[in-house]
Amino acid sequence: MVIALKTSTNILLVFLFMACTSVPDERMTSYADFPETRELTARTLSLDSALFRYPYRVRIQDDKGVVLDLHGTEYFFHAFHYPGFHYLSSFGKRGDAPEEMLSAENLRWNGNFLWTLDSNKSELTRLGFASSGDSLLRLEAVSLDEELLRALDFVQYDDSTFIIPDYSGDSRFCLVSRQGKLLRKIGTIPTANEDALKSARPALAQAWRSFIDYNPRNGVLAAVTQLGEVLEIYNLKDSTHIVRIGPNGEPEFQIAQGYGIPTGIMGFSDIQVTDSAIYVVFQGRAFKDIMQKAKQGINLPDGGQYIYVFSLEGKPLRKYVLDHYIHGISVDEQKGVIIATDVNKDEPIIEYRYHSAAKEKTHLVRIKNKPVLSYDDSVM
């Protein structure tokens, strides 16, 4: 088993070194728009408790849902029974004690276990539900290597390896062992800004901060920039690397005292790689407009009003225009359901129903061995 894990990690190292060192021109392409645009209307999910200050992420696994409250005063995470969203318990207590958290950046399910990231403490924690099913127990803590600069996101490649974006500017990703040790830094930021690559890598890395997701079933690792409009796709099974750049271009910034100050737009705010597509939340609001409204005393809604859907190869498929501004999403393609968080509302957990390709397959009716699609118009 140990040999298999080492072999898997070595394959990842070889591929990512080859794929990320340089990006062929034919793999770096732009997109102008989506062939299809649909509007979605949310259903607000009533909760039996009011717990949130800034519900930033939501992750669903079977009959459990967990919400990350980025600015939680006492606890960062809240567990619910899904789909009814009945409150179960809170965990990730804020504090500086050994088993408490200084911050919370993200959470990931891995089977029945939940991993959380505390950037300020440089720690990944694995939790599991108690036998009662209503509370989570701390099972494992991984202290991250000091060379990893303020990890803000992570995915688990396999049981022995994490992938964490590199914010030092030296590379694109860090491969980290289960013991928290840095195995290797790989790749480069796929920017056309050669001057920044040569002389301002830390500022460039700040501007190119990205959210990532990985689906082990199809081997797709995807990253989207928090500024600008760039999607990167790494297929770890067929060894391809694709960069898709939207109409707003790559992240724009100015350098001030060594820091990258954003000057373009707010980009993506969450990403999920499903078995058949890539779903991303997009904001697209210019910083100059945000500043201008702020001077007028106008607070614009926080979050993105769009969900973009790409194929696993980066082809634009569909744009959803929402009636809420959201940050986090959890997509269930089989049911055609997206659970999202809206930090602007007192009731922040909402549900969208949509017509997914995966759901179409469940409506196949075979007549004389010929498949015929039978659509449910209620979910169109």
Q: Where are the beta strands (DSSP E) in 145-288?
A: 155-158, 161-165, 173-177, 182-186, 210-215, 220-225, 230-235, 240-245, 253-256, 259-262, 268-273, 278-282
Q: Is the pLDDT of residue 18 over 90?
A: no
50: CB partners within 8 A, 6+ apart? 346
pTM, two decimal places: 0.89
Are 275 and 217 in contact, with CB atoms under 8 Å apart? yes
Q: Is residue 65 very low, low, confident or very high in pLDDT (cuts 50, 70, 90)?
A: very high
* Confidence at residue 187, expressed as pLDDT on a 0 to 100 scale: 84
Task: Write the CA distances from 240 to 139, 186, 225, 236, integer angstroms.
Answer: 36, 15, 19, 7
Listed residue (56, 63, 78, 90) closest to 348, CA to CA: 56
Domains and CATH numbers, the chain: 34-192+268-379 (2.120.10.30)
Q: Is the pLDDT of residue 273 over 90?
A: yes
State the sign of the Cα–Cα–Cα–Cα dihedral 26, 32, 34, 39: positive
Q: Is the pLDDT of residue 1 over 60?
A: no
pLDDT tens for each residue of 156-199: 999 999 999 999 999 999 999 999 999 999 888 999 999 999 98
The length of the chain is: 380
Q: Is residue 269 very low, low, confident or very high in pLDDT (cuts 50, 70, 90)?
A: very high
* β-strand partners of 350: 44, 340
* Confidence at residue 146, expressed as pLDDT on a 0 to 100 scale: 92
Alpha carbon distance 201, 218 (integer Å): 32
C-beta neighbour count of 185 within 10 angstroms:
15
Alpha carbon distance 358, 336 (integer Å): 8
